Chain A
Amino acid sequence: MPLSPASEPSELASAVQRARAGVHFAARSGPSMSRGSSSLPKLYWFHGYKCRSPNDVAEIVEVMRDGPVVPSFATKARQNEAHLGLSPSVYCYLGRAHETFGEVVFAFSANPDGGMLSPFDTGSLNKYAPPVSDWQDPEKKTYLAAYSWSIAELADQLLKYPGTAVGEIERYLNVALKPLHTGPHGAWPGRQVANIWERSSDWRSWTWEGRWPEKLSFGVSLEAWTCSPAQQGLLLDWATQHASDEDRAWFGDALPKFIEGGFGELAETMRVRQESA
């Protein structure tokens, strides 16, 4: 089945997008930016991904369509899971991706069932989130259990951290700014105390993590995606010459959501989009 010609874009939305391109701060400081204090922020989940081979671009579409699965090869994530007693999982991060330099990343809006949440990267508990990273594994597991919720509770937990005010969301989305609390216990009083947010200098220690055992599917909730610029020509060739009609049609729907410029560009574009949502 060939790609049908793209429907005409929402003229206004695209014109405004063009008008806004590169002038994010003008919009941010606009007078009507204030969000009602009761409404939840529009934050997306991000999943970063590296192809088995950078040449194998068909894999990108496969993951985008069917969702990521736990890699079959050994990674640092498997080691971390062993320390913390977690089952092998697919990881996503709320508001931004885990990687600083990446290859492929997807941003999506759904909250697929079956996942768990924590207000830090669980990997950081083994590396760069003192004092917990200096603790023994059983204590780490207890700490992690105290700050783990099911994905269905996301909305309730966001009210506690980072909050819903514009300033709170902007602060959360700015990796250079730590939370105002010294650790998660500040947002969830009565739970185990450890000043991991104060003592860590790595922004991943105060980033919401979502983890889904074995597999994750975000389906049509894909909001934006990117790959390394060097892969984009190969991807277009694959879609034109080698994709099945079904894959091509599916890929055609995902193309308008493509953000050119790689991982860093997507992170910055989505930071601004989430701030002004």
Chain B
Amino acid sequence: MTQIIGMEGTWPDRVAVAWGAAAVRSGDTVRNSFSGHTIAFDELANGRPTDIEAYVPLPKPVRVQPVHAPKDLVVVAIRRKHTNSYLFRTRKRTQPGEIGRVRDTNTDFYVFDSRGSFRDYARAIIRRIVVHVLGASEQLGQGVLVGDVEHLKLIREGLVLDARNPYLHALRVALTPATQEAAEGIARALMQSDPQRLRTFKHILKIFRGERVLYTVKYEDGIASGGGFDPDSAAKIFEALQRVLRNLRKARAQRGSTVADSPPRVLLAAGSAKLTFEVQLQAGPAQEPMRDPIVDRIGRYLEIRDLQRALLGDMPPALTGNASFREALDDLVNPRQATKVFHQPLDESEYVSVLVDPFVADGNLFSRPFSVFGVPQGFNHRHSPRVDITMSSYIREVVRIDDNGQGETPLGLHAFEQHDFMNRPFVFQFRRQMNQRKARYKYWLLSIQRLEQGKIYSIDSVPSSVVPGGFVMGPTHTLTVSEDEVHIDGAAVGPYGTNLGGWTRFFDNYMHWCRAAEIAALDDLSEWLVPPKVTPMTRVAELLLALESLGGDAEYETVVALVGKTHSARSLYRLHETGDLIAVHERDGDLWWSLTDAGERFLKVYHRATATTSSVAVTE
């Protein structure tokens, strides 16, 4: 029989709440539920703490059902006689993940089945504490905080449940004018490793201090090509915005989170295409009356933060499958194809592109996993960490590194922890997700391998030189690196650099190799994974298609006329010179072009690749 007999740690008597790993007894041994370390029951002086072992015995054991893994159990303890201890207590069986509770004359013990369940409990309790302290310390709902010792004690108890909680730390700073600087320094040091919490802390502190917190969404080109919106577009944008905010607010309320009485203030300056969201309805210095209540400001802040996250592709879980929300979001950020949308995240000084996931659940196609050579050349940590990976002269993708598309991190992620990973050769494995309805796609990063000298790696895909943005999937190639060169299938592809310029030169060489590999791949069972909208974007392809349409043999001037004015005759002539795809010959004093065998194979690849745009993908 497995039983929980205690909680790890010590519990100072002036603290109302404690928590820790469960001491799980099974026969003669007792296990720490977090570390898995064991000790003989006898070593614990028959279940009592010793001068070495520190744990708090339960008044009676809690039996663990076999369904609950003993690995992750958490015990929470509450002293009922402490002031405000009611804020930490819950009614029996009302919290998810609670698998048992026991009590004695002074103490309640709750047992949770996992740290996730415990964190949900902690979050709910901290929300209670914040609302309680704000309700009691705000002067007449006018945005000025004055706390007392009891409130600070309560905040301290809340920090037992979550030492890095940004709301509690902001309250602690705001309520202790005498030690404000010290409290803020400590909060920042604690949250140093968690930029998201640190940002929230700064924002909440600004709200407490009556400072402005702004968020801006900006439109360029398309519907904003004149600098401002036309009335029709403005109406559509505002209508979409209201739908988005309504959904976010509903989702927030369902989670039991703070919701303001009124939505955030949205400002649209005349003649501009910038929407500015403001947390405060009535701003003013701390001494000025008539400011809106702080709880409302926090509610609006959370709503704006949800909007910002949604515009970065991070939806509240309740809304990920909500088609009308996705549609509203899409209308907000994709009003017309030529429109670019940027936003200036809360409290930031620079605009960045919005990264809304345009996918809907019913229109997704996933490719099979494929591995390619690539070089990380940029990093963006805002909201979700992303790495900018160059895979060819045509392909540079920004991919998330905290999610492989299935909620897990990519394998080998630790390679990005090394300080010198930028501009180094890697093999990446991806899966492409494509939405047919929207003709959009993105890549999920599945695994990461940094290339080391003396080891052999393999890739099963190479970038297409025929269809920009596409890949040839199969056959497999071996990859090795020497001190300064990359070798594929034993042949040196070219020297690589440690900076952008060096890699640009490398990728020029690499694309030549890829073209040969791609044309050779025509004879085997390779597949092409190409972008949903294929256009002859390379000059070579454009030229070859024109020549093909003229029967594969035509006067040079005719080809140029067909291709159009976008390329000068000189540049076209130089193009064919560098390739082996077109043969040049003179006929009756005129210059004629004709497709070579390689040129014909190139076109075959092109047609085969573009014909399989959708069929190459494997639906899951």
| Chain A contacts to B: CB under 8 angstroms | 2-7, 9, 11-20, 23, 26-27, 29-33, 48, 50-51, 53-55, 57, 75-76, 96, 98-103, 128, 175-176, 202-203, 228-234, 236-237, 239-241, 248, 251-253, 255-256, 258, 260-265, 267-268, 271, 276
Contacts and interface: CB of A to CB of B under 8 A. Distances in A.
A5 B205 CA distance: 14
Residue of B13, B40, B52 with most partner-chain A CB within 10 A: B52
12 contacts: A3-B182, A12-B381, A20-B413, A30-B411, A30-B414, A100-B30, A101-B54, A255-B192, A256-B189, A261-B34, A263-B8, A264-B33
B176 interface: yes
A195 B381 CA distance: 52
Contacts of A276: 414
Contacts of B448: 30, 32
A30 B54 contact: no
Nearest to A263: B8
B194 A14 contact: yes
Interface stretch (B102-110, B152-160, B317-325, B530-538): B152-160
Contact of A260 (B164, B184, B381, B417): B164
Interface in B51-72: 51-55
Residue of A15, A27, A232, A253 with most partner-chain B CB within 10 A: A15
Contacts, number: 275
A262 B77 CA distance: 14
B414 A237 contact: no
Contacts of B194: 14, 18
B10 interface: yes
A262 B53 contact: no
A27 B6 contact: no
A101 B23 CA distance: 8
Interface band, chain B: 35 or more
A3 B181 contact: yes
Contacts of B142: none
A264 B181 CA distance: 33
Given A230-B9, A234-B15, A96 B37 contact: yes
Which 7 A-B pairs give the minimum distances between C-beta atoms?
A3-B185, A264-B34, A30-B412, A228-B9, A15-B385, A19-B402, A230-B18
Contacts of B350: none
Contact of A268 (B18, B36, B52, B411): B36
A16 B156 contact: no
A194 B172 CA distance: 58
A267 B37 contact: yes
B193 A175 contact: no
Interface in B163-187: 163-164, 172, 176, 179, 181-186
A252 B185 contact: yes
A99 B52 contact: yes
Interface of B: 6, 8-15, 17-21, 23, 30-40, 44, 49-55, 115, 152, 156-164, 172, 176, 179, 181-186, 188-196, 379, 381, 385, 401-403, 408-417, 447-450, 452
B414 A230 contact: no
B176 A240 contact: yes
B61 to A, nearest CB: 16
Contact of B12 (A55, A248, A260): A55
B160 to A, nearest CB: 5
A20 B413 CA distance: 8
A11 B35 contact: no
Given A16-B416, A19-B402, A103 B195 contact: no
Contacts of A51: 10
Given A15-B381, A30-B411, A103 B32 contact: no
Given A50-B51, A255-B186, A100 B156 contact: no
Nearest to A254: B189
A19 B448 CA distance: 14
B29 to A, nearest CB: 9
Contacts of B37: 96, 100, 175, 203, 264, 267
Nearest to B404: A26
Contacts of B12: 53-55, 57, 230-231, 234
Nearest to B422: A12
B448 to A, nearest CB: 7
Contacts of A30: 411-415, 447-449
Residue of A19, A30, A268 with most partner-chain B CB within 10 A: A19
Contacts of A265: 21, 34-35
A11 B185 contact: no
A45 to B, nearest CB: 17
Given A33-B414, A230-B160, A260-B164, A100 B39 contact: yes
B409 A19 contact: yes
B156 A236 contact: yes
A231 B54 CA distance: 13
A258 B8 contact: no
Contacts of B18: 228-230
Given A6-B192, A50-B51, A230-B18, 8 more contacts: A15-B402, A51-B10, A54-B13, A76-B52, A101-B6, A256-B190, A262-B8, A267-B34
